[in-house]
Amino acid sequence: MNTEFISQIQNGSPLAVARAITAVERGGAPARELCRALFPHTGRAHIIGVTGAPGTGKSTLVNALAKEFRAREKRVAILAIDPSSPFSGGAILGDRLRMQDLTGTGVYIRSMASRGQLGGLAAAVADALVILDAAQFEIILVETVGAGQSEVDIAKHALTTLVIEAPGLGDEIQAIKAGILEIADVLVVNKADRDGANAAVAALQMNLNLNPNKHAWRPPILKTIAPTSEGVSQVVDAIYKHTAYLDEHGLRAQKERARFDDGLRALAQREWLEQKMHALPPGQWDAWLAQITQRQRDPYSIAQEVLAS
């Protein structure tokens, strides 16, 4: 691995960081070598997940949060996970286009394609977080796709998870069914200047009251108007209070362990599958697919054959 390239990443060079994230998106041996070299230099970033249904104003709120953290003299990076084009595989919404007013503020912004991941995150997000952490960004804001109630994977990566709601979307009660409220460390009712904001807060409060564990961290419910940054300072204060709570109760290491447990399993599965695919005789995979399609064999027995190969 090029030591000069590693040093450039550690010094926070935007070009080097961009090249590194592109490398991990491509995957393969160079990406593995890069992450191995950078991993010992991680562990200082505060990773903040921002999730919620479409229409809640996540991008605008992330924009406002980044400005607030910069005002508090923090180095900030944004990892915005966008839906993928079904043709090119690239990100099609481009959150960077909605964050143009962050240009020149020192905030690093990167869009990544979700590539069909159901949890609202890109497959390479864990490796991208390693790069941004090693690049000495103190705050990393990860914005998920915004596909509704399936987006609970962010809690596995983030130290603090923000769940964003908005008045009139009807998601306040529905979301708890899929557990999206259960992952929240801070609940934010954005677009609080709209009718129904107080009703949304009341509905979320009712859902929180269903939690029988009275000694655990209780997510605060805060109202914001992201375009004017109203209430954003209070959200940042709540994030810091949550961090202090984790440290006070020894839960930071527990969160880290859970994060790496999930990441190690996913990495092992990915590496194993890649090795198995490379070891197959030419045309074997296509032959199996043809056998399954023609109902000559079932996928379960073929999967066992792959395991045994």
- Whole-angstrom distance, CA of residue 9 vs CA of residue 16: 5
Q: What pLDDT does residue 179 have?
A: 62
Domains and CATH numbers, the chain: 43-249 (3.40.50.300), 260-308 (no CATH)
- Whole-angstrom distance, CA of residue 23 vs CA of residue 31: 6
In single-letter form, the type of residue at position 74 comes to K
User: Which residues are CB-contacts of 5 (< 8 A; sequence separation ≥ 6)?
Assistant: 16, 19, 20
pLDDT tens for 259-277 read 888 888 888 888 888 888 8
What is the layout of strands, in order, in the sheet containing 46-52? 108-113, 76-82, 139-143, 46-52, 160-165, 186-189, 221-223
Tokens 């490398």, located at residue = 23
Q: What pLDDT does residue 86 have?
A: 46
Q: What pLDDT does residue 174 have?
A: 55
- Whole-angstrom distance, CA of residue 9 vs CA of residue 84: 27
Q: What is the average per-residue pLDDT within 225-243? A: 97
**Judging by beta carbons within 10 Å of its beta carbon (0-12, 13-18, 19+), is residue 178 exposed, middle or buried?**
middle
How confident is residue 149, by pLDDT bands cut at 50, 70 and 90? very low
- Whole-angstrom distance, CA of residue 290 vs CA of residue 27: 28
The percent of residues in the chain predicted with pLDDT above 70, rounded, is 82
Confirm if 41 and 34 have CB atoms less than 8 A apart: no
- Whole-angstrom distance, CA of residue 190 vs CA of residue 57: 7
- Whole-angstrom distance, CA of residue 130 vs CA of residue 135: 9
Identify the bridge partners of residue 111 per DSSP, sorted by sequence position.
Answer: 80
Q: What pLDDT does residue 133 have?
A: 97
pLDDT over 70 at 239, yes or no: yes
- Which one has a higher pLDDT value, 70 or 89? 70
pLDDT tens for 290-299 read 999 999 999 9
pLDDT over 70 at 284, yes or no: yes
CA pseudo-torsion sign 233, 50, 71, 248:
positive
Q: What is the average per-residue pLDDT within 235-257? A: 94
Q: What pLDDT does residue 2 have?
A: 84
Q: What pLDDT does residue 99 have?
A: 60
CA pseudo-torsion sign 10, 13, 14, 15:
negative
Q: What is the average per-residue pLDDT within 218-233? A: 96
Q: What pLDDT does residue 151 have?
A: 59
pLDDT over 50 at 150, yes or no: no
Confirm if 195 and 167 have CB atoms less than 8 A apart: yes
DSSP conformation letters of 105-121: TT-EEEEEE-TT-TTSS
How confident is residue 245, by pLDDT bands cut at 50, 70 and 90? very high
How confident is residue 87, by pLDDT bands cut at 50, 70 and 90? very low
pLDDT over 90 at 68, yes or no: yes
Q: What is the average per-residue pLDDT within 31-58? A: 92
The pTM score is: 0.86
Packing angle, helices 3-10 and 29-38, rounded to 10: 60
- Which one has a higher pLDDT value, 122 or 58? 58
Q: What pLDDT does residue 212 have?
A: 61
How confident is residue 66, by pLDDT bands cut at 50, 70 and 90? very high
- Whole-angstrom distance, CA of residue 292 vs CA of residue 51: 38
Q: What is the average per-residue pLDDT within 167-191? A: 74
- Whole-angstrom distance, CA of residue 160 vs CA of residue 155: 8
In single-letter form, the type of residue at position 42 comes to T
